Amino acid sequence: MPSEYEAQRRKKADALRAMGLDPFGRRFPDAIGAAEARRRFEAVGEGAPARVAGRLMAVREFGKLVFSDLVDWTGRIQVAFSRKNLPEAVWEKVKQLDLGDWVGVEGRLTKTRTGEVTVAVETLEILAKALLPPPEKWHGLVDVEARYRQRYVDLFANPEVRDLFLARSLILEETRRFLKERSFVEVETPVLQPIYGGAAARPFTTHHNTLDMDLYLRISPELYLKRLLVGGMERVFEIGRVFRNEGVSTRHNPEFTMLEAYQAYADYTDMMELTESLVEHLARTVSGGKTCLKFGEHPIEYRAPWRRAKYADLLEEHAAVRPGDEEAIRAKARALGLEESNKHVDIVTHDLFERTVEEHLVQPVFVMDWPARLCPLTKRKADDPTIAERFEPMVAGMELGNAYTELNDPDVQEAALRTQLEGQKETMAVMDEDFLAALKHGMPPAGGLGIGMDRLVMLLVGAPSIRDVVLFPQLRPRTT
């Protein structure tokens, strides 16, 4: 049953139909943006022609004169409908307008006595009748989940939200441009994979009816991108969606956007330089040239070079234990209430690291040289095979990504994957024999990098939750 408001708007739609008009309109070509109309007035002055289209977001009636704010994605401009100057047929259309309607108008630019640049309307086309009104006092709405569920309303009611997603688009565009300028080639790899890999995560499972086989939504494109290194594509990257059947929080969404890049003849030190240069560039892009941006209460300085800190040194600094000291690590974990009895010591070590270290890593830092058991796809240190040449960029206590000197010895890789498979049966499928065969054909030494783009956008625009930077985040079903 339609609400009273919807019923009133439907009556207006019927009135338009009775006038021989389609309340859902047709194309409206050659319109300029609201911002361009304002620039035209400044350049040409009074009387300049303008043809604009957008949504009506405010209506102010003064008898035979109606003012309205017309909003498009470039901004806002006032439009004026004068009973004195409009033909009767056009005025009748004006009487059927409501907040939220999409219209196209044509007229002359002028400036009101209050100094407002305005289109004095001569013709009006109704392009789409809004049958539901915008939420009242949307700007003061405290139900954040309602904004996520009705993002389409959030975007037109709150211009700052639309600006945030335009900034996200710019960040992705600039990331691509930055990498292509450094001779990286953008590629696409399978989203549906017969064997998932590249991370320790639980996948989403689906089924292909024609082939009668289970497939997995990818948790990472890593193993396919490395196959391209084997094939001689020396610098490749992909920006795409990945899927992990895990928790939902302010920092996790089950589908998210990942950048992965691989560079032949490089190692993790090259990836550090690439990461800090990229993020500094993106910070300057979204801020108009600044490198210090606010996130929560913290000003974050993204200017390169970033701090380099070893995993073991950070653990000793904040937890007073060293990797390898199993007795001390388990004792510390128990003291903090962490489960340790049925876990390998390296897993317990990282649980301890997450609990005691990460919150202190506010300014950008590369946490480097990890316990090798945690890194089955990573090359070991030449002088210490218990340490992997891996780093994670950490900002504001949050992991931003992951990077390695890539393991390219097929025998060592197979042994590492078998160890991982035995220890993580719940989050691994089977051995990827084709990937191992690819390595046997020879993969050049390489550095690899993965960055969670949603988290990066969070940091650069100052958004407190990953849901703020994902247009349609995953939410629990409505309970009512």
Give tens-digit pLDDT for 324-383: 899 999 999 999 999 998 888 988 999 999 999 999 999 999 999 999 888 888 999 999
Alpha carbons 242 and 255: distance in angstroms, whole number? 6
What pLDDT was estimated at residue 140? 44
Residue in the structure block whose two tokens are 């009668």: 212
Taking phi over 0 as left and psi of -120 to 50 as alpha, with beta for the rest, 468 belongs to alpha
State how far the Cα of 432 lies from the Cα of 414, in Å rounded to an integer.
9
Which amino acid, 254? Answer: P
Answer for the pair 117, 111: CB distance below 8 angstroms, yes or no. Answer: yes
Residue identified by tokens 């340790």 is 340
Residue 373's pLDDT is: 83
What is the reported pLDDT for 427?
Answer: 52
**pTM of the shown model:** 0.92
Residue ranges of the chain whose pLDDT lies below 70:
136-142, 423-429, 480
Residues in CB range of 83: below 8 A, 6 or more apart: 63, 64, 65, 91
- DSSP tag of 397: T
- The three-point CA angle 448-217-191 to 5° equals 60
pLDDT digits (tens, 9 = 90+) for 187-222: 999 999 999 988 888 999 999 999 999 999 999 999
User: What local confidence, expressed as pLDDT, does residue 6 receive?
Assistant: 94
The string over 232-262, giving b where at least 16 C-beta atoms fall within 10 Å of a residue's C-beta and e elsewhere, is eebbbbbbbebbbeeeeeebebbbbbbbbbb
Instruction: Please answer whether residues 313 and 322 qualify as being in contact, where contact means their C-beta atoms are separated by less than 8 angstroms.
Output: no
Angle at 112 (CA atoms; ends 109, 116), nearest 5 degrees? 80
Cα 156 → chain centroid: 19
Strand, helix or coil for residue 131? coil
> What pLDDT, on the 0 to 100 scale, is given for residue 135?
77
DSSP state of 136: T
Residues in the chain: 480
pLDDT of residue 142: 46
Buried b (16+ CB within 10 A) or exposed e, 175-194: beebbeeeebeeeebeeebe
DSSP code at position 382: T
Nearest to 220 by CA among 268, 258, 179: 258
For residue 195, the tally of other CB atoms under 10 A from its CB is: 16
DSSP structure class, residue 398: E
87 upstream amide cis, omega within 30 of 0: no
Q: What is the pLDDT of residue 141?
A: 47
pLDDT tens digits for 71-104? 999 999 999 999 999 999 999 999 999 999 999 9
CB-based contact 25:125 (threshold 8 Å):
yes
- Tokens standing for residue 251: 């920092």
